[in-house]
Structure 1
Amino acid sequence: MIKNKFKLLLSALLLPAVLQAQSVKQLTLPEAIDLGVANSKNLKLSQNKIDEAVARLAVVKDNVLPTASASFLYNHAEIPTNTLTIGGGNPIHLPNRADAFVGTAAIQEVIYGGGKYRYATESTKLLTDLARLDADKNKEEVSYAVINTYFSLFKVMQSKKVVAQNLEAIASQLKQAQRFFEQGIVTKNDVLRFQLQQANVSLTDLEIENNRKIINYNLDILLGLPEDTEITIAESDLP
């Protein structure tokens, strides 16, 4: 009985790792091309999945339009001499402290790699165009679509690494600014500036991740893989 319980417990502990291993697939470019060519004749049968790819892109496409952004700054000053007398006139009483709140808002178009969802849009178009061709598709056209989508995935994954490094650096700067603020070396305004920068870069990271998910889904369909497969780039293809 105890032995059976141990087996069940071990299975429960190992199951998530097994499921994760099943949903992640590392591919070299030649392997991806071979899968794409082998699956090309089945692509027309995947029309519902291709429609889903178009729908996924449509969900995020509004983000290509100009978006509103806002920033908020705060400053504070103590006024030790708060009574001001000019000539023989009545004294002017000033507050003991002054707080300044400055808010700015701007309309801007976020540009990422020549367009926020440029790579996702390109890969979706390639997938839909390829599905419209005859069953006996040109091998070069299939290979081109796979290569383009594969390297689009590579580009966004590299961008995610850069953003992750930036977030790590900003977190360190923010921690230092908060420590300096507690010591009275910097103002609250300086701390808020780093917090705003952190929020903006985190938003960029989210946008890149949306790009990655769309491109990954398109590549799954193109290669005939289960649509929940997370594709990783083989190290041999990294520069």
Structure 2
Amino acid sequence: MKRYIILLYLAVSAGIKAQIQDNPSVLTLNKIWNISESQNKQLKLAELAKEESDISILEAKDKQLPELSVVGDFRLNSKFLLYENGLFSSPQSVPIKGYGYGLGYNLDFNLYSGGKDKRNIEIKKEEKIRKQYEFELQEDNVKYMIAASYYDLYKFQEFESFISSEISSEKKQLSTIENLNKNGIVLKSDVLRISVKLSQLELSDSDVKKKIDLTKQRLNILMGRSGTEPLDISSEDILETKDLQGSNYEDYLTAALANSPDIKIVSANQTLSELNIKQVKSSLLPKISLYSRYNYTYPQISFYPYSNDLWGFGQIGLKVTYSVDNLYKSKHTIAHAYNLNKQEIEKRRIKQDDLSIKVRDAFLEREQARESVETAELTIRQSTESVRVIRNSYLNQQSLLTDLLDAENILLQAKFNLISAEANLRLSHIKLLIITGTL
């Protein structure tokens, strides 16, 4: 019979949990995370930054295309004076039209410029990778803010439940003490003390309800919804104890150094600084380009003999350009690029040290939260027994009401502490996973 009852209880519990999970109006932490991925305003902004990096790559590729321009002009010509015997001799006036025009094209195709264009594409691709890491970091930050608000809401709802239960219990206790007072067994002051405690509990209940409303608004906004939209969370959405059993500190640190978005960002910055050194050095190399141009001009006054007829002339060939001034001008620019690279290397080392501290802090925070849960559970067991003993003692007029009220307050506070400790344990575990980049 006992075994049948246990099986029935497990079946009912599983059914209730399944209903909660299937109910679309009840949101688990994972559901809220999923909604925020597409609706959170901060993530939308970060997504736009990622799209901008894609456009930057296309812009860099566009620079590899030939430069083609169409040229046209219209002009008024002055007199064409030809000084055959020197500047101070009488000039000969060459008859030309008083106006002129031209139409043509210029084509320039870069064949080699020290690899600048290809390297610029590499730089834009690396910047895109960094944007992706920045997006992941922003996504982790949003997830943590959601988790913190989610567990705050869970705590406040549990607090409200405890307080409501305590109010109901105290009302029954007040009725009992009022009857005892009427029979002359207890003093009127005991009735007043219970009434005062009820008033304090009702005030606390009102305060907790306000915190619940505020936290729901915060969660709705983080999900990209209206702050006043109804929100119900699942009290079953709590990590199992086995899920909170993690590796040791060294394993978490190894994972963080490999997966943390913070480390990936500084690594990408270091790679960009190395590419920048190569880009700056490329200014010391020659530039080779293929060019072509053709123009129709009227009148023909570029070559002798001159003519008032329309003429066309074009060229095609290879052009080599070498900036001699870069041999001395780029010296300090290259030194600057090397200095920036050294700074990025040091920043990465600093970030690694900072990350080791963060991992250690989060790891110890989780261990402390686990100890707090164990302490709170022990306190509840002891306080529950203490309340039972003192209540019986009070009803037998062997102890004071103040002793009973103190014991009840200690028990209520212990329940609060247990819920807070459980929420902090789960939140600290999520924080540790976020820092290590393994969430």
| TM-score normalised per structure 1 | 0.49
More relative contact order, 1 or 2 (CA 8 Å, 6+ apart):
1
